[in-house]
Structure 1
Amino acid sequence: MKKVNLAIVGATGMVGRTFLKVLEERQFPIDNLYLFSSAKSAGSNVSFNGKDYIVEELTEQVFDRDIQIALFSAGGEISAQFAPIAASKGVIVVDNSSHWRMESEVPLVVPEVNPEAVKAHKGIIANPNCSTIQAVVPLRPLNDKYKIKRIVYSTYQAVSGSGVRGIQDLETGVEGGANSFYPHPIAFNCLPHIDVFTDNGYTKEELKMINETMKIFNNYNMKVTATTVRVPVKNSHSESINIEFENPFELEDVVNELKNANGVVVVDNPQANEYPTAISCDGKDEVFVGRIRRDFSIDNGLNIWVVADNIRKGAATNAVQIAELLLAYNLV
Structure 2
Amino acid sequence: MSTQKLFNVAVVGATGAVGEQIIGLLEKRNFPIAELKLLSSARSAGSSVMFKGRELIVEEAAPDSFKGVEIALFSAGGEVSKALAPHAVSHGAICIDNTNAFRMDPDTPLVVPEVNIDKISGHKGIIANPNCSTIQMVAALKPLYDRYGISRIIVSTYQAVSGAGSMAIGELLRQTGDVLAGKEIKPDILPVGSLPVKHQIAFNAIPQIDKFQDNGYTLEEMKMVRETKKILGDEQIAVTATCVRVPVVYGHSESVYAELNHDYELEDVKRLLSDSPGVVLADDPASQRYPLATDAAGKPDVFVGRLRRDLGSPRGLNMWIVSDNLLKGAAWNAVQIAEYIAIGSQE
Counterpart amino acid of residue 58 in structure 2: V
Asked if the contact 2:213–2:219 (Cα under 8 Å) also holds between the matched residues in 1, the reply is yes
Counterpart amino acid of residue 14 in structure 1: A
> 2 CA distance for matches of 1:104 and 1:163?
28
Q: Which TM-score applies when normalising by structure 2?
A: 0.94
Q: Which TM-score applies when normalising by structure 1?
A: 0.98
Q: Give the counterpart of 1:17 among 17, 20, 41.
A: 20
Q: Could you give the per-residue CA deviations for residues 145-175 of structure 1, whole angstroms, max 9, x where no partner exists?
A: 0001100011000000000221122112112
Asked if the contact 1:119–1:331 (Cα under 8 Å) also holds between the matched residues in 2, the reply is no
Counterpart amino acid of residue 28 in structure 2: E
Deviation at 1:2, TM superposition (A): 2.3
2:181 match? none
> 2 CA distance for matches of 1:202 and 1:329?
40
User: 1:267-286 residue pairs with structure 2 within 5 A?
Assistant: 267-286=282-301
Asked if the contact 1:100–1:126 (Cα under 8 Å) also holds between the matched residues in 2, the reply is yes
Counterpart amino acid of residue 81 in structure 1: A
Is 2:45 the partner of 1:32?
Answer: no
- Give structure 1 regions of 4+ aligned residues with deviation exceeding 6 angstroms: none
Asked if the contact 2:251–2:325 (Cα under 8 Å) also holds between the matched residues in 1, the reply is yes
1:170 match? 172
> 1 CA distance for matches of 2:119 and 2:34?
26
User: 1:190-205 residue pairs with structure 2 within 5 A?
Assistant: 190-205=205-220
Q: Give the counterpart of 2:250 among 235, 239, 243.
A: 235
> 2 CA distance for matches of 1:166 and 1:39?
21
> 1 CA distance for matches of 2:174 and 2:346?
46
User: 1:133-282 residue pairs with structure 2 within 5 A?
Assistant: 133-176=135-178, 177-182=185-190, 183-282=198-297
Q: Could you give the per-residue CA deviations for residues 114-169 of structure 1, whole angstroms, max 9, x where no partner exists?
A: 00111000000000000000101011111000001100011000000000221122
1:324 match? 339
Asked if the contact 2:323–2:329 (Cα under 8 Å) also holds between the matched residues in 1, the reply is yes
> 2 CA distance for matches of 1:75 and 1:238?
23
CA RMSD of aligned residues (A): 1.1
Taking a change above 3 Å as real, the CA distance of residues 207 and 331 of structure 1, as seen in their structure-2 partners, is: farther
Deviation at 1:331, TM superposition (A): 8.5
Deviation at 1:29, TM superposition (A): 1.1
Asked if the contact 1:172–1:178 (Cα under 8 Å) also holds between the matched residues in 2, the reply is no
Percent of aligned positions that are identical: 52
User: 1:106-145 residue pairs with structure 2 within 5 A?
Assistant: 106-145=108-147
Deviation at 1:12, TM superposition (A): 0.8
Counterpart amino acid of residue 54 in structure 2: K
Counterpart amino acid of residue 165 in structure 1: M
Asked if the contact 1:22–1:317 (Cα under 8 Å) also holds between the matched residues in 2, the reply is yes
Please give the secondary structure, in 2, of the residue aligned with 1:7.
strand
Please give the secondary structure, in 1, of the residue aligned with 2:321.
strand
Structure 1: runs of 5+ lacking an equivalent: none
1:87 match? 89
> 2 CA distance for matches of 1:201 and 1:228?
12
Asked if the contact 1:94–1:127 (Cα under 8 Å) also holds between the matched residues in 2, the reply is yes
Deviation at 1:59, TM superposition (A): 1.2
> 1 CA distance for matches of 2:75 and 2:24?
14
User: 1:50-61 residue pairs with structure 2 within 5 A?
Assistant: 50-61=53-64
> 2 CA distance for matches of 1:168 and 1:40?
19
> 1 CA distance for matches of 2:345 and 2:276?
25
Structure 2: runs of 5+ lacking an equivalent: 179-184, 191-197
Aligned residues: 331
> 2 CA distance for matches of 1:52 and 1:181?
32
> 2 CA distance for matches of 1:118 and 1:257?
25
Please give the secondary structure, in 2, of the residue aligned with 1:306.
strand
Asked if the contact 2:14–2:58 (Cα under 8 Å) also holds between the matched residues in 1, the reply is yes
1:289 match? 304
Q: Could you give the per-residue CA deviations for residues 213-271 of structure 1, whole angstroms, max 9, x where no partner exists?
A: 00000100111000000001111000011000111100000000000001000111111
Deviation at 1:322, TM superposition (A): 0.5
Counterpart amino acid of residue 158 in structure 1: A
Asked if the contact 1:172–1:179 (Cα under 8 Å) also holds between the matched residues in 2, the reply is no
2:314 match? 299
Deviation at 1:299, TM superposition (A): 2.9
Counterpart amino acid of residue 115 in structure 2: V
2:107 match? 105
Q: Could you give the per-residue CA deviations for residues 72-97 of structure 1, whole angstroms, max 9, x where no partner exists?
A: 00101100000011011110000011
> 1 CA distance for matches of 2:189 and 2:221?
20
Deviation at 1:296, TM superposition (A): 2.2
